[in-house]
Amino acid sequence: MKKTIHQINERIRDGNARVVTAEEMPAIVAELGEEGALAEVDVVTTGTFGAMCSSGGFFNFGHADPPIRMERVWLNDVEAYAGLAAVDAYIGATQQSTTREDQYGGAHVIEDFIAGKSVELRAISRGTDCYPRRTITTDLLLENLNQAIMCNPRNGYQRYNAASNSTERVLHTYMGMLLPSFGNVTYSGAGLLNPISNDPGFRFIGSGVPCFLGGAEGMVIGEGTQASPAAGFGTLMVTGDMKKMNTEYIRAATMHGYGVTMYVGLGIPIPVLDVETVRSTAVKDEDIWVDIIDYGVPARDRPTIGKVNYAMLKAGHLEINGEEVRTSSLSSLRRARRVAEELKGWIESGKMAVCLPTRRIDPGRRAAPMRETVQGPRVLEIMDRRVITISENEPIRDAARKLLKGETNHLPVINGEGVLVGIVTTYDVSKAVVNPAKISHVKDIMRRKVVTTTADEPVDIAVRKLEKHNISALPVVDREYRVVGMLTAMDLGKLFGGRWLK
Amino acid sequence: MKLLVTFSRKEGKKPIIAQVVRDTGVLVNVERALIDSSEGEALIDIPDESCRIVKDKLADLGASVRILEEEISLDETECVDCGACISICPQEVFSFDEEFRLRMDAKRCVLCGRCIEICPHGALSRRVDI
């Protein structure tokens, strides 16, 4: 048996279409079988509500008198991109305020507009014959704008890898706060309610298809940026009229230590035309697997700690290395359900009909990493190769002598095999002089927990280590943990005026 | 019941809490403490019925004591039930109910402030009633 999109739209028009949410679908298929579910269900609604950084909107402000060709535009001190035309601008959700930093950003401007609040527009221009005005400041409400069109380049990730942290310090990431030593796992996404997870072949989700966006009727533009559906990470570009949205489904947020983002409610109705659609919309949380990624490694290709599915994540706790670890979602399942329910109501009442894509999204697409033609500086290039070390059994006095003679403040401590076992600084030696207790040897005063770097580590990452630990030098170690150099705050000076700043 | 105890250490390092435990026989749970060379602040948890005796003893030892009624407050209009607070709370104050609505057991809170800092929606704040 097969159904056509016209049959389904006719039933929607007559008010007797059977619409269910993606969460209800698995039980219906279990009860009626695939053919039975196909005969019974006309439309499956999906929904998700979570942080979607790659979001924003176009505004048209109308012309002032005398007119201005806005070259730079700020809305409540958040800069919008104005390289479009005289009075058009695009505001990005993650753009931060020049005055309030991460407490206010593009997402807040959008939320304030939707909430009916007044927003201050400030713009400057150099002035032309046709647009003589150079500055403008005015207060605007959403209703004062000609257009306020949300246009989100990358929304509705099919699924998202969970996050954890192997290091011994707290990390603040876009995946939230990650506690040390795998102290928690965070995740995002609505699992079986996610739009693309219900149509991974993009047979029904594509250009021109209607959607729920921020509480308004919106539309799928097509493939989202960085989409990688072949790897199970499809994304969508979507649009909708901000004037019809509400703040239940558009919320500005700040990820502590990361920055501003916007929580977006997105849902897509999927017409059930054949058994294949029944199967794809009967997806369960148990079927959707993601990796747990270690955000403790500051590289693009972070290591995977293990695999989990959304049922395990939603259970609230899982096991890592035999220890029970609690999970936190960053998206809201409760609100995702509301999106799917509200969308269901729209279709049942005939407010929204379904259609097939005018242009299909390629399910075989895979995102590639950036091609980098210029490599940033590595520790190797600026480190001090002159290494003065000391052994742990030498007297403190010798350490002081070496520090003086070497004109350095840091002495790596090595054992008989030349392996790094600690570090002694001028501060440690001075403290030993002031408090001359029973201690007499380097091993009594050295710090055994040493933060290190390697020769091929990018300097940016080494600098981050210095900042985070509030220290001024890192021993550079090789694979056997032998010291091959030192990177001190002074070596960073070599970056200035050198070839890296050209 | 939670008591916020503040005391000066200028006259020496008196083991105030230990003294209270010994003299009253009440088992005190220290949930959070910040003590430096000049002063100290400790949040302690005690059985409700022992409140009077512990409070009086602490006052005798020169400490000032406040009863914490409300610990943490959730603004339900800002909260979107995301759950970012759940796994980072050392006291397991937050959880989801069966409908994935955020639930808060404020009695367990020790005011560490971590959730206030990280809530993406600014929905959590400290409300201290005396």
| Share above pLDDT 90 across residues of chain B, in percent, rounded to a whole number | 34
Examine the domain organization and report whether A244 and A315 are in the same domain. yes
Q: Closest-CA residue in chain A for B99?
A: A334
**A190 vs B contacts (CB less than 8 Å):** none
The predicted structure's pLDDT at residue A500: 55
Return mean pLDDT, chain B: 87
Using 50 as the pLDDT threshold, list the residues of chain A that sit under it.
502
What does the domain layout of chain B look like in residue ranges?
2-68, 72-126
Q: Do B80 and A256 touch (CB under 8 A)?
A: no
B114 close contact with A: CB closer than 8 A: yes
The predicted structure's pLDDT at residue B72: 87
CB nearest to A332's CB, from B81, B85, B114: B81
Confidence band (pLDDT; 50, 70, 90) for B40? Answer: confident
Q: Which residues 6+ apart lie within 8 Å of B73 measured at CB?
A: B124, B125, B126, B127
Q: Give the mean model confidence (pLDDT) for residues B27-36.
A: 85
Q: Give the mean model confidence (pLDDT) for residues B118-125.
A: 96
Examine the domain organization and report whether A319 and A234 are in the same domain. yes
Domain boundary among A89, A119, A145: A145
Confidence band (pLDDT; 50, 70, 90) for B130? Answer: very low
Give the other-Cβ count within 10 Å of A418's Cβ: 12
Secondary structure of A4-73 as H, E, C letters: CHHHHHHHHHHCCCCEEECCCHHHHHHHHHHHHHHHHCCEEECCEEEECCCCEEEEECCCCCCCECCCEE
CATH number for the domain that contains residue A458: 3.10.580.10
Confidence band (pLDDT; 50, 70, 90) for B70? Answer: low
Q: Is A130 a catalytic residue?
A: yes
Q: Give the mean model confidence (pLDDT) for residues B44-65.
A: 85
Is A44 among the domain residues?
A: yes
The nearest CA of chain A is from the CA of B119 a distance in Å of 8
CB nearest to B87's CB, from A50, A51, A184: A184
Examine the domain organization and report whether A67 and A48 are in the same domain. no
Closest CA to A126 of A68, A166, A170, A66: A68
The nearest CA of chain A is from the CA of B69 a distance in Å of 28
Backbone angles phi, psi at A293, to 5 degrees: -100, 140
Q: Produce one character per residue of A484-494: b if its CB has 16 or more CB atoms within 10 Å, e if not.
A: bbbbbeebbee
Q: Do B84 and A177 touch (CB under 8 A)?
A: yes
| Predicted complex ipTM | 0.82
Examine the domain organization and report whether A123 and A164 are in the same domain. no
- Residue B102 pairs in a beta bridge with B96
**B93 vs A contacts (CB less than 8 Å):** none
The predicted structure's pLDDT at residue A498: 60
Q: Closest-CA residue in chain B for A260?
A: B120
Question: What Rg, from alpha-carbon coordinates, does chain B have?
Answer: 17
Tally the domains of chain A.
3
Q: Do B86 and A316 touch (CB under 8 A)?
A: yes
**Rounded to an integer, what distance in angstroms lies between the CA atom of residue A478 and that of residue A17?**
67
* Domain B2-68 identical in fold to domain B72-126: yes
Is A302 among the domain residues?
A: yes
Which superfamily does CATH assign the domain made up of B2-68 to? ACT domain (3.30.70.260)
Is A357 among the domain residues?
A: no
- Residue B42 pairs in a beta bridge with B5, B33
User: Residue A344 is part of which domain span?
Assistant: 5-52+151-348
C-alpha atoms less than 13 angstroms from C-alpha of B49 in its C-beta half-sphere:
1
Q: Does domain B72-126 have CATH number 3.30.70.1450?
A: no
The predicted structure's pLDDT at residue B128: 57
Q: Give the mean model confidence (pLDDT) for residues B6-12.
A: 78
* Residue A181 Rama label (left phi>0; alpha psi -120 to 50; beta): left
Examine the domain organization and report whether A36 and A70 are in the same domain. no
- The three-state secondary structure class of B30 is strand
Is A353 among the domain residues?
A: no
Q: Do B87 and A330 touch (CB under 8 A)?
A: no
The predicted structure's pLDDT at residue A502: 46
Would you state the structure tokens that stand for residue A53, as one six-digit string?
């950084």
Q: Closest-CA residue in chain B for A317?
A: B87
Q: Closest-CA residue in chain B for A174?
A: B120
Is A370 among the domain residues?
A: no
Examine the domain organization and report whether A120 and A85 are in the same domain. yes
Spatial strand order of the sheet with A323-329 comes to A304-309, A289-294, A162-164, A184-187, A323-329, A317-320
Is A363 among the domain residues?
A: no
Amino acid at A403: L
The nearest CA of chain A is from the CA of B109 a distance in Å of 17
C-alpha A316: how far from chain center:
21
